[in-house]
Structures are given as C-alpha cells and as structure tokens.
C-alpha cells in the first residue's frame, strides 16, 4: 500500500529534490513576473467590472465618470508600486510587510499585518477561482449550477502543480500569463485605432436603458453621490491586491534579488495600469453597461429584460465589439481571461507558504509550516492555503459578488502599516547616517513611503466606511480572530520553551533515578510477549515483573500455568478487575508504585502488532493505545512500545532480509 501511495505521489509531484539544489529553483524576471504578478494582472478582468457595476446604481450618466475613477485607482496603484520598490531594497529577506511592521512598529503590528496578508492570500484564491468558474459557466452551460464544484477542482489542481515546486509551477503559468497580456494589448490597440478611425462598433449592452435607483434621481450630486463614487473607487482598488506578494517573495528571485524584484514591480505597475485605463476607455467608447442585477436595472425599449438574458463581463463585451467579424479573437480573449483568473491564484500559492514559513519560524504558526517538502516547496503551507480557500468557496457558493466585499480590507491594512513602518525605518537610519549622498537617497525614499502611507491610509478608511455593511465586517472579525490565534500560538511556544529550558541549575537534569522498575504488560503468553520480556531483561532494570489484568478466572488460571511452564525468571502479577476494566487497574498499580518510591523510574513495556493494512489497525492495538494515552500523563513513567511485525507487513519494511526484524523468524 505504501509503495502504491509513494508511486502516486511521485507521478503527481515528481522526484524529491536535494537541498543543495535549492538555487536551481530560483526565478529569473521573465518567470517571476507571471508567478508573482498574475494576481494584480488578473484584476483587469474584474476591477473595471466592479467600478461600472457600482456606478450603475446612479444611472447611465454616472458611468461616464468611470475613467476618472479608474485614473484615481491607477494613481494609488503607481504610488504603492513605488513605495514597495523601497521595501524590497530595505528588507529583501522575504518577510515583506510583516518584517517591516515587526521591526519598526513592534510585534503586535507585525502580527496584525501578517493576519491581514494571510487572509488576503486565501481570499485571492477564493475570488480568482470563483470568478474563473463564473466565466467557465457562461461559456459552458453544463457547468451552470456547479460553479462551486468547478472552483474546488481548480484549486485542487493548482495545489498539486505548486507542490511540484515554484520553478515548475512558474514555467507552467508563464505562457498563459504572457498570452493574456498580449491579447489584452491587442484588444486595447485595435479598439483605440478603430475608435479614432470612427468605425468602433457599439457593445451588446449599449442600447439597454439603465434604470437609476430612486435615491439617485439627481445623479452623483450630494452626499449620496459622493459616497457612491467612494464605493466605486474602493471596489476598483481590488486591482492593487497582489502587489505585496513580490515583497514577500524576494527570496525566490535570482541574484541580485532586490533589484530583480524591484524591476518586476515596476513592470507590473506599468502593465496593469495601462490595461485598466485601456479597458475603461474602451468601455466608455463602446457604451458598455454592467449591472449587479441586470433584470431590475436594465430595460429594453421600455420593457424588462427577458429571463434568459445572460450578462457578459466587460472584457467579453469589449472583445465581441472590437473584434467584430473575427470570432476567433473574441473566443481567445474570453478563454485566456478565464484562465488568467485561475492562474492569479498562483500568486497566493507562492506568497502564503513563504510568509507562513517565516511566521512559523517566529513561533506564530505551527512549526510544520516552516519546513520545505521533498520538492523544496513549503508543502504544508500550500495544502493549508488550498484547504482554507476551498472552505470559503463552498461557504459562499463561489459567488464573486459576495466574496469581493471581503477582499481588499486586509491588503490595505498591510499596505498602510507597512508604509508607516518604512517611514520609521528611514527616520531611524537618517539619525546615524553621515554620508550626504546616502542621506539624500534616504530622504527621497522617505518621501515616497510618506506619500504611500497617506494614500493607502486614506483608501483604507474609504474601504472600511463604504464596504463595512457589505461584508467587510466579516473580514475585520476574521482578522481579529486570526490575530488572537497567532498570539496564542506564540504564547504557547514561549511557555513550552521556558518550561523545558535547563536554566542555571542542571543538577536535577543530571540526577539519576534511585531504581528502575520495569513492568511488561501481558495479555497472552505468545511471541510478542516474550519479545517484550527479552527487551526488558536486556535493559537490566532493578525490578522486573510481568503484569496482567484478571478479567476471567479461567483465562487467568490458564495463563498462569503457561507462564510457570516457561520457567522465566520474571514473576507474573495478576491485578484484580471486578468490573472487567483493563486500563484503570494498570494505572492504579503504576501510581501506587510511584507513591511508594517517588524517585524510582517506572518503564512500562507494551507489546504491539505492526500491521500491513489500514483495516487491521482497527482490529488490533486498541487497548495498547488507550493505555499509552493515559500513562503518558503520569509523571515518572516511561512507555516503551515493543513492535511485532505481522506477516501482512512483508515487503513494506525494506528489511525483509534481516531475521531480527521478521517477527515470525525471531
């Protein structure tokens, strides 16, 4: 069974990679861009949709300001990119925002940032995969109603790909990501050329009448209009998610790591900003309209839309209009857009495990997340991310509209605290730096991070105010729970460390027990029991005895006769059990020895069967497991398991030629 499982693992994940080959898994910029930037690049597929969807509440006139809202988003995007270029140079170890906040603002701020980032990574996977499943369902009617199942399948496939290693997964994602950039670039250039040539067709939704909400009869004027604009801006800021992944993934870059990461950030900012503005410009030029509920917000010739009306995403409408008369281009754009939404989750699959490893190293997460798997990937972190995202997808039924409201709170918490930390970083260095040229560079960097702090802090306030009742409260609650959980884990590790530390007085650790009292538990007189007796005798304890529990008088008499016939130099003690219990009499006997001789060490030898099939485990060793579980909580007691390999284990130990290990030939 284990051989089959190992073969399946190798087929899915590949052969193990030696630790000294870690350098061969590092990424050049051409691979790092699709690996770490696919999340931010994919936001082109839904950030413009969210801006138009929000503005549609106020009617057609309101949607005309969408390019200006997009421009505000792009300004914030470029400022954040410039700020994070300072981060990767100052903190290239991979801790990213967590390291910046911890070093400059204290451990509490660091844990807060880490909580926000971990949650954002999970939501990145859930939102991107759910959006991709919606695209797939619109193209393949058979998937309608099964979007959640399709999303779970996609997450599982991504998990397996990433378990093969970061370089292999990066190579796998590079072609689709660059194809997406090429097709969106072709869409933008072709659409812009046709617009200025005067032959750009209208979008399929251009002739629909957009019905404004009754509270927006006057358009975007007044407080309600300003609030709606702020909501649209906050929704569009979903485009910024993923920027922080590069600062967390600096160790995965080839040398010079910081410079390559900063260059990748600059490319990401330029490409994503250009795409977002091009999409919004063409949406305005082609008359694209997009609404949250098309059947109540749209009308056609004064009549409600038919029930079967299927609203296509913004990029789908643009591709159909721009490439009118050339259907292959339309289908290519739609297919690659859906694919890039799936691949966007790969950013999280590279960022979450690295951050989780750093947090585990610092004691804020379980230690298992710190170690690499046999493919040099942080396997436990990858699996944890996948499982958590799958739970979210199932809970929210893969509905992007519900998930998107949870999305950007966490990332702007980390943005804001990170920029504040960088301000303190540069101020601290300036106090001790004598070189004028270096001081000038630090001042410039501080100005960049200062602008970044002011802008991201303002956006965070807008996001909290405009999205709190739309689901952001769930994110805030989750952040609080995760923060407390991580602090609790750290306190536990600190408490265990202090408890186990030797301290200055090591006399107690060097002291030997006055005597060793060995007890061999006997259920039957057979080969496993005799092996346990032999092991116990080999350890030369001060006292050695065999102990059994008398449940049935006839069985006890027969066992006693067999024991005496063997003429072993080990007495057999029978414990009474009037209520036919096994565990309690043994525990009481062991504790009585402890009370009589507190300085004695008691070693309990328990014979156990080693089985070759999982179902055999259900039929054996249950009493032994219960006993071990109780004895482990008894001070001064050591439990020794004495294994006996049954014939069903043949071929699974790898030691079949050793007669000592084969139970039946012992």
Confidence band for 247, pLDDT divided at 50, 70 and 90? confident
Q: What angle do CA 25, 28, 30 make, to 5 degrees?
A: 130
> Is the pLDDT confidence value at 494 over 70?
yes
Structural domains in the chain? 26-89+117-400 (1.20.1740.10), 509-665 (3.40.50)
Name the token pair of 438.
Answer: 């270096």
pLDDT tens-place string over residues 107-157: 999 999 889 888 888 888 888 888 778 767 766 777 777 888 888 998 998
Are residues 610 and 649 in contact, defined by beta-carbon separation less than 8 angstroms? Answer: yes
Are residues 242 and 325 in contact, defined by beta-carbon separation less than 8 angstroms? Answer: no
Give the model's pLDDT for residue 233: 85
- Higher-confidence residue of 142 and 656: namely 142
Give the model's pLDDT for residue 658: 47
Helices (H) and strands (E) in the chain, counts: 26, 8
Phi, psi of 568 (to 5 degrees): -80, 145
Are residues 337 and 45 in contact, defined by beta-carbon separation less than 8 angstroms? Answer: yes
Mean pLDDT of the chain: 80
Confidence band for 598, pLDDT divided at 50, 70 and 90? confident
End-to-end CA distance of the chain: 25
H runs (alpha helix) in 147-219: 147-163, 166-197
- At 384, which helix (H) or strand (E)? helix 379-395
Strands 516-521 and 303-304: unpaired
Please compute the mean of the pLDDT values over residues 604-608 and round it to a whole number: 91
pLDDT tens-place string over residues 550-571: 877 888 888 899 998 988 899 9
Strand partners, 575: 549
Helices 314-322 and 327-361: angle between axes, nearest 10 degrees? 150
Are residues 155 and 389 in contact, defined by beta-carbon separation less than 8 angstroms? Answer: yes
H runs (alpha helix) in 140-165: 147-163
> Is the pLDDT confidence value at 170 over 60?
no
Name the token pair of 485.
Answer: 């959980």
Give the model's pLDDT for residue 662: 43
218-227, 305-314, 478-487: segment of lowest average pLDDT: 218-227
Name the token pair of 456.
Answer: 């991201």
Name the token pair of 19.
Answer: 């630790």
> Is the pLDDT confidence value at 2 over 60?
no
> Is the pLDDT confidence value at 656 over 60?
no
- At 596, which helix (H) or strand (E)? helix 583-596
Q: What angle do CA 161, 165, 171 make, to 5 degrees?
A: 70
Q: How many C-beta atoms lie closer than 10 Å to residue 328's C-beta? A: 8
pLDDT tens-place string over residues 12-61: 545 554 444 444 456 677 777 777 777 777 777 778 888 888 888 777 65
From CA 459, how far away is CA 456, in angstroms rounded? Answer: 5
Confidence band for 311, pLDDT divided at 50, 70 and 90? confident
From CA 475, how far away is CA 481, in angstroms rounded? Answer: 10
For 270-314, give the secondary structure using H, E and C. Answer: HHHHHHHHHHHHHHHHHCCCCCCCHHHHEEECCEECCCCCCCCCH
> Is the pLDDT confidence value at 96 over 60?
yes
Strand partners, 605: 520, 640
Give the model's pLDDT for residue 282: 92
Q: In which order are the strands placed within the sheet that holds 303-304?
A: 209-210, 298-300, 303-304
Radius of gyration of the chain (CA): 33
pLDDT tens-place string over residues 393-421: 888 887 776 776 677 787 788 888 988 99
DSSP assignment string, 326-384: -HHHHHHHHHHHHHHHHHHHHHHHHHHHHHHHHHHHTTSS-GGGGS--TTSS-HHHHHH
From CA 408, how far away is CA 231, in angstroms rounded? Answer: 12
Q: How many C-beta atoms lie closer than 10 Å to residue 484's C-beta? A: 12
Are residues 413 and 113 in contact, defined by beta-carbon separation less than 8 angstroms? Answer: yes
Give the model's pLDDT for residue 659: 44
Give the model's pLDDT for residue 47: 82
H runs (alpha helix) in 431-471: 436-467
63 Cβ contact list (under 8 Å, min separation 6): 52, 55, 56, 210, 284, 289
């Amino acid at each position: 069974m284990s051989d089959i499982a190992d073969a399946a693992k190798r087929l899915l994940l590949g052969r193990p990679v030696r630790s000294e080959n870690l350098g061969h898994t590092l990424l050049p910029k051409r691979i790092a861009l699709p690996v770490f930037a696919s999340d931010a690049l994919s936001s082109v597929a839904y950030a413009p949709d969210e801006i138009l969807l929000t503005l549609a509440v106020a009617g057609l006139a309101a949607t005309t300001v969408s390019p200006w809202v997009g421009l505000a988003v792009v300004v914030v995007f470029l400022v954040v990119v410039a700020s994070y270029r300072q981060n990767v140079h100052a903190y290239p170890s991979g801790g990213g925002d967590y390291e910046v906040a911890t070093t400059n603002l204290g451990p509490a701020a660091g844990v807060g940032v880490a909580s926000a980032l971990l949650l954002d990574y999970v939501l990145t996977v859930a939102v991107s995969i759910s959006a991709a499943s919606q695209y797939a369902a619109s193209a393949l009617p058979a998937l309608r109603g099964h979007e959640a199942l399709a999303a779970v399948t996609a997450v599982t496939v991504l998990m397996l790909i990433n378990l093969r290693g970061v370089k292999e997964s990066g190579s796998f994602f590079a072609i689709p990501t660059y194809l997406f950039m090429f097709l969106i670039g072709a869409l933008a250039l072709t659409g812009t050329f046709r617009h200025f040539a005067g032959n750009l067709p209208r979008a399929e939704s251009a002739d629909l009448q957009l019905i404004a909400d009754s509270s927006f009869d006057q358009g975007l004027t007044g407080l309600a209009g300003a609030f709606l604009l702020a909501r649209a801006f906050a929704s569009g800021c979903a485009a910024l998610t993923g920027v922080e992944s590069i600062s967390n993934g600096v160790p995965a870059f080839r040398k010079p790591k910081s410079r390559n990461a900063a260059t990748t950030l600059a490319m990401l900012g330029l490409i994503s900003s250009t795409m977002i503005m091009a999409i919004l410009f063409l949406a305005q030029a082609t008359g694209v309209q997009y609404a949250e509920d098309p059947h109540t917000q749209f009308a056609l010739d004064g009549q409600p839309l038919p029930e079967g009306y299927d609203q296509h995403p913004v990029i789908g409408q643009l591709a159909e209009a721009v490439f009118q008369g050339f259907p292959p281009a339309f289908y290519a754009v739609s297919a690659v857009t859906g694919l890039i939404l799936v691949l966007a989750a790969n950013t999280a699959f590279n960022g979450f495990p690295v951050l989780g490893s750093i947090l585990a190293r610092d004691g804020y997460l379980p230690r298992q997340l710190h170690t690499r798997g046999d493919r040099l990937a942080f396997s436990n972190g990858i699996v944890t991310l996948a499982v958590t995202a799958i739970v979210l997808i199932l809970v929210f039924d893969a509905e992007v509209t519900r998930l998107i409201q949870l999305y950007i709170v966490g990332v702007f918490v980390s943005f804001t605290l990170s920029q504040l930390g960088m301000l303190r970083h540069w101020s601290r260095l300036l106090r001790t730096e004598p070189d004028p040229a270096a001081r000038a560079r630090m001042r410039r960097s501080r100005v960049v991070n200062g602008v970044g702090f002011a802008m991201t802090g303002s956006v965070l306030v807008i996001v909290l105010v405009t999205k709190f009742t739309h689901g952001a409260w769930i994110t805030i609650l989750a952040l609080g729970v995760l923060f407390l959980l991580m602090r609790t884990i750290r306190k536990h590790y600190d408490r265990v460390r202090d408890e186990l530390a030797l301290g200055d007085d090591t006399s107690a650790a060097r002291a030997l027990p006055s005597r060793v009292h060995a007890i061999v538990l006997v259920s039957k007189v057979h080969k496993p029991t005799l092996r346990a007796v032999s092991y116990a005798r080999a350890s030369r304890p001060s006292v050695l005895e065999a102990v059994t529990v008398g449940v049935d008088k006839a069985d006890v008499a027969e066992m006693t006769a067999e024991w005496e016939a063997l003429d072993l130099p080990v007495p057999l003690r029978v414990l009474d059990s009037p209520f036919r219990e096994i565990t309690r009499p043994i525990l009481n006997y062991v504790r009585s020895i402890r009370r009589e001789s507190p300085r004695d060490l008691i070693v309990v030898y328990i014979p156990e069967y080693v089985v070759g099939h999982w179902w055999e485990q259900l039929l054996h060793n249950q009493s032994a497991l219960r006993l071990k579980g109780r004895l482990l909580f008894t001070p001064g007691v050591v439990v020794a398991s004495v294994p006996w390999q049954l014939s069903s284990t043949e071929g699974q130990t790898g030691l079949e030629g050793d007669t000592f290990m084969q139970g039946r030939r012992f």
